């Protein structure tokens, strides 16, 4: 298989072992040796003929499944040095991500369906069969991953309320009867150090298996606060994972997983571009005209900072899951139970982020978030060797959050940590505004999927899911504004309640012209639940058209695609086209004076575009790959500001592209060469409905060269990301709030597998 990115219209679920004819699904009793066969099959998905399609939980040939997706195999992950979620997203057409502010904050855009700060993700994220319950889980380091799939288009018929734009499936390497050990050490500029170690193998042959993994990432930083003479983008991350897999009987398999992630580092590295600095004191505001600086510009990039408070962020994640898979001749039953607890805190300088303090132009701000959630999914999947196939199940999610946002008086004595109670009387760092609320939300869903082979080469499918989402918000009566009438410390009407519900159908028609050419068309409706703004923030912002409740988002999408292989499968060429009518898309507003983070709805957006993906194996070991995605967006209705109708929608790159070449060459049995060069291209992107200032298109060039063993058990690689040190802003918020992206990164990596 070519070592480049495996582009295909398919998704893989290597967590469960769906029954096949070889595993006794013909209705005959399973052989005693089946336990060993199952154990040996518990590995990362194969890189060739068949995979398990997530949408149907069935094995299909990679190029035959009617799902638009980009798939990264274990070899692709190693070759592309995929270390985190932003790495594989950068290689996926029509998908982009912004990572800014703090460890747990990221914003995905997929085919024009966007995510905003404090909003829910537009994709469902499934790790080893367990759906992530909070978007703060997403931005953890990746390690020991067997396969990654990025599905584009609505997947709500299976995954529910957040799969409005697609789904991301991440499957880690599975243990087998063979002992496995892997070690990885990396070093780079900015005092960037990573270490990873993994062990896996049998406890009881054929029946009980384990794998344990640990990673550590320390980064000193490359962006400097020139007032404090310290870096602002430093971070330390520790991640661990343990897994026990038991083949209890020939038909019953159990998986138990636990994990943790601890992250600590800098935060909120923004500039307020219209701040004017005192020429005699460069990091202090000009007292005569503090905001007389340059006009906001999304292309203005500054890599130095002046805040008198160094931003601080801490995130702790604990998670566990238990999964049972029971196979019978007529169907497979699975039940997945998951739990997560997340605490995240951020304390930083307030707008306008300068050394000035105590003058009325500067302050402090904090945010504390806590989430405890659990979920359960039950699914029944029929046999795969029938003309008519079916799947059905149910899902339940219970989420309990607390969110506290504050501003404080900056007296030069640091930032006090605030959580469930404000510090109104604390002189060193008095709380000035406090918005606090706890949320108890529940989601109930029923879903099903039918598939029928009309002809041997023509298949019709229909899936449907209905979600009921219950929202309950309890306002902290100590909040500085927006407290409901009658809400007091001694009790009262502190609760707000809403229900959101939506059906999510999807129909697909697939036509196989021959084994190397397939066409498909589908229509689906995606849903993202509405939510509450923090109570009182809308009133504090004092802006027309801003409300305490954000409406649910619904997207209607029609899609057509093809997939093909040519020249004896040396060339793979896939393409797709989509048209989406999106209602109530989310948009983020920030009011710096009160630290208010607010969501509003853009009533209607029209999205059209497509993707084209190709890979070609020129010679054994020499591969070229390319993909591109284009999205045209148009705001067709926006009651908040009708003058913006007809503009491009915010957060959506006009195009994304990735093109590259890589080469593996063995000199002898012990030594080989590896080289890879690729270009990431991002199109023009607006950040607000006004289209006030776009970020211009830019390219990033990446290079790797190294030596390796031909069997790939060890390697030593030198890498450079952003070779030309392109300067651009990772995020821009309307009004002139900009965070620069990291500069050029370079270093070395050594890996060994036993």
pLDDT, one tens digit per residue, over 486-529 is: 787 776 668 889 999 999 999 999 999 999 999 999 999 999 99
Q: What's the pLDDT tens digit per position in 39-85?
A: 343 333 333 334 555 545 676 777 888 989 899 989 999 999 999 99
Q: What's the pLDDT tens digit per position in 327-385?
A: 999 999 999 999 999 999 999 999 899 998 776 778 999 999 999 999 999 999 999 89
CA distances from 132 to 10, 55, 137, 254, 320 (A): 21, 17, 7, 20, 11
630 close to 575: Cβ distance less than 8 angstroms: no
pTM value is: 0.91
User: What distance in Å separates the CA atoms of residue 650 and residue 584, rounded to the nearest whole number?
Assistant: 13
What's the mean pLDDT in 683-693? Answer: 96
* 433 pLDDT higher than 70: yes
Which residues, including other chains, have CB under 8 Å from residue 425's CB and lie 6 or more apart?
A: none
Asked if residue 367 is part of any domain, the answer here is no
Which residues, including other chains, have CB under 8 Å from residue 436's CB and lie 6 or more apart?
A: 402, 403, 404, 405, 420, 422, 475, 476, 478, 479, 534
DSSP-assigned letters across all residues of 315-375:
EEEEEEEEEEEEE-SSEEEEEEEEEEEEEEEEEEE-TT-SS--SSSS-EEEEEEEEEEEEE
Residue of 490, 739, 694 whose CA lies nearest to 590: 739
555: left (phi over 0), alpha (psi -120 to 50) or beta: beta
Per-residue confidence (pLDDT) for residue 331, from 0 to 100: 95
What does residue 368 show for φ and ψ, rounded to 5 degrees? -125, 130
Q: What's the pLDDT tens digit per position in 602-634?
A: 999 999 999 999 999 999 999 999 999 999 999
Strand 277-278 relative to strand 180-188: parallel, antiparallel, unpaired? unpaired
Asked if residue 498 is part of any domain, the answer here is no
Asked if residue 495 is part of any domain, the answer here is no
Which residues, including other chains, have CB under 8 Å from residue 619's CB and lie 6 or more apart?
A: none
Q: What's the pLDDT tens digit per position in 281-303?
A: 989 999 999 999 999 999 999 99
* CA angle, 511 then 512 then 514, to 5°: 155
Asked if residue 494 is part of any domain, the answer here is no
**Dihedral (CA of 93, 95, 98, 103) sign:** negative
180 close to 189: Cβ distance less than 8 angstroms: no
Q: Which value, to the nearest 10 degrees, does the dihedral of the CA atoms of residues 325, 327, 330, 334 take?
A: -10
Collapsing DSSP states into helix, strand and coil, what is residue 139? coil
What does residue 135 show for φ and ψ, rounded to 5 degrees? -65, -20
Q: Tell me the two tokens of residue 475.
A: 């306002």
Cis ω before 352 (30° cut-off from 0): yes
Strand partners, 661: 624, 677
Collapsing DSSP states into helix, strand and coil, what is residue 85? helix
Q: Tell me the two tokens of residue 1.
A: 């298989």
Strand partners, 610: 577, 630
Per-residue pLDDT band at 590 (split at 50, 70, 90): confident
User: What distance in Å separates the CA atoms of residue 716 and residue 747, rounded to the nearest whole number?
Assistant: 11
Domain count, the chain: 1
Looking at residue 543, what DSSP letter applies? -
Asked if residue 279 is part of any domain, the answer here is yes
Which residues, including other chains, have CB under 8 Å from residue 52's CB and lie 6 or more apart?
A: 12, 13, 14, 16, 18, 45, 58, 59, 60
318 close to 371: Cβ distance less than 8 angstroms: no
* CA angle, 111 then 113 then 118, to 5°: 145
- Give the residue numbers spanning the domain of 644: 6-311+331-361+374-449+459-481+509-753
HSE toward the beta carbon, residue 376, CA cutoff 13 A = 3
Asked if residue 324 is part of any domain, the answer here is no
Q: What is the CATH number of the domain that holds 250?
A: 2.40.170.20
Asked if residue 487 is part of any domain, the answer here is no
State what percent of residues in the chain have pLDDT above 90: 80
Per-residue confidence (pLDDT) for residue 494, from 0 to 100: 87
User: What distance in Å separates the CA atoms of residue 512 and residue 518, rounded to the nearest whole number?
Assistant: 4
Asked if residue 326 is part of any domain, the answer here is no
């Amino acid at each position: 298989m070519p070592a480049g990115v495996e582009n295909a219209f398919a998704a893989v679920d290597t967590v469960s072992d769906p029954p096949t004819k070889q595993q006794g699904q013909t209705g005959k009793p399973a052989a005693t040796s089946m336990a060993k066969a199952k154990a040996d099959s518990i590995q990362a998905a194969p890189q060739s003929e068949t995979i398990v399609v997530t949408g149907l939980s069935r094995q299909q040939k990679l190029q035959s499944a009617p799902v638009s997706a980009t798939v990264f195999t274990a070899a692709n992950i190693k070759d592309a040095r995929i270390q985190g979620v932003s790495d594989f997203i950068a290689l996926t057409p029509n998908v982009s991500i912004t990572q800014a502010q703090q460890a747990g904050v990221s914003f995905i855009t997929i085919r024009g369906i966007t995510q905003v700060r404090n909003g829910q993700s537009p994709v469902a994220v499934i790790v080893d069969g367990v759906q992530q319950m909070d978007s703060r889980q997403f931005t953890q380091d990746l390690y020991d991953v067997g396969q990654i799939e990025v599905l584009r288009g609505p997947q709500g018929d299976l995954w529910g309320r957040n799969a409005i734009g697609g789904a991301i499936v991440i499957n880690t390497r599975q243990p087998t009867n063979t002992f496995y050990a892997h070690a990885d050490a990396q070093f780079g500029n900015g005092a960037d150090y990573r270490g990873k170690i993994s062990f896996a193998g049998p406890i009881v042959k054929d029946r009980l298996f384990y794998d344990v993994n640990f990673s550590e990432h320390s980064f000193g930083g490359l962006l400097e606060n020139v007032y404090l003479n310290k870096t602002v983008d430093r971070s330390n991350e520790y991640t661990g994972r343990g897994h026990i897999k038991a083949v209890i009987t020939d038909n019953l398999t159990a998986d138990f997983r636990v994990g943790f992630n601890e992250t600590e580092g800098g935060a909120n590295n923004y500039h307020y571009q219209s701040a004017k600095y005192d020429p005699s004191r460069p990091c202090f505001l000009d007292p005569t005209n503090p905001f007389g600086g340059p006009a906001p510009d999304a292309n203005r990039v500054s890599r130095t900072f002046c805040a008198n408070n160094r931003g601080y962020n801490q995130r702790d994640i604990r998670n566990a899951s238990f999964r049972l898979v029971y196979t019978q001749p007529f169907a497979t039953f699975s039940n997945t139970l998951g739990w997560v607890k997340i605490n995240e805190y951020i304390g930083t300088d307030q707008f306008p982020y300068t050394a000035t303090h105590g003058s009325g132009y500067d302050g402090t701000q904090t945010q504390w978030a806590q989430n405890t959630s659990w979920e359960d999914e039950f699914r029944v999947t029929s046999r795969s060797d029938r003309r008519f196939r079916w799947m059905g199940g149910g899902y339940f999610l219970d989420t309990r959050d607390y969110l506290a946002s504050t501003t404080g008086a900056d007296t030069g004595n640091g930032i006090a940590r605030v959580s469930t109670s404000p510090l109104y009387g604390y002189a060193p760092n008095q709380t000035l505004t406090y918005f606090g609320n706890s949320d108890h939300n529940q989601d109930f869903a029923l879903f099903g999927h039918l598939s029928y082979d009309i002809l041997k080469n023509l298949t019709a499918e229909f899936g449907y899911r209905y979600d009921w989402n219950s929202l309950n918000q309890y306002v902290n009566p100590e909040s500085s504004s927006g407290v409901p009438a009658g809400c007091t410390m001694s009790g009262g009407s502190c609760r707000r309640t809403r229900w959101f519900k939506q059906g999510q159908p999807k129909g697909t028609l697939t036509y196989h012209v021959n084994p190397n050419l397939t066409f498909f068309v589908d229509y689906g409706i995606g849903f993202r639940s509405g939510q509450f703004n923090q109570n009182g923030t809308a009133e504090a912002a004092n802006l027309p058209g801003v409300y305490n409740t954000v409406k649910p988002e619904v997207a209607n999408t029609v899609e057509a695609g093809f997939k093909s292989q040519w020249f004896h499968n040396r060339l793979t060429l896939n393409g797709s086209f989509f048209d989406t009518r999106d209602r109530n898309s989310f948009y983020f507003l920030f009011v710096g004076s009160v630290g208010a983070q607010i969501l509003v709805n853009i009533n209607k957006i029209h999205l059209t575009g497509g993707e084209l993906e190709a890979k070609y194996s020129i010679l054994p070991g020499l591969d070229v790959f390319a993909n591109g995605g284009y999205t045209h967006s148009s705001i067709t209705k926006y009651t908040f500001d009708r003058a913006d109708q007809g503009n491009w929608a915010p957060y959506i790159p006009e195009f994304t592209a990735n093109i590259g070449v890589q080469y593996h060459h063995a000199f002898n049995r012990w030594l080989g060469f590896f080289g890879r060069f690729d270009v990431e291209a991002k199109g023009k992107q607006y950040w607000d409905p006004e289209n006030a200032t776009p970020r211009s298109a830019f390219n990033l060039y990446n290079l790797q060269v190294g030596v390796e063993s031909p069997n790939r058990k060890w390697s030593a690689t030198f890498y450079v990301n952003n070779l030309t040190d392109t300067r651009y802003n990772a995020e821009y918020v309307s009004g002139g709030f900009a965070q620069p992206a990291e500069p050029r990164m370079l270093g070395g990596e050594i890996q060994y597998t036993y």
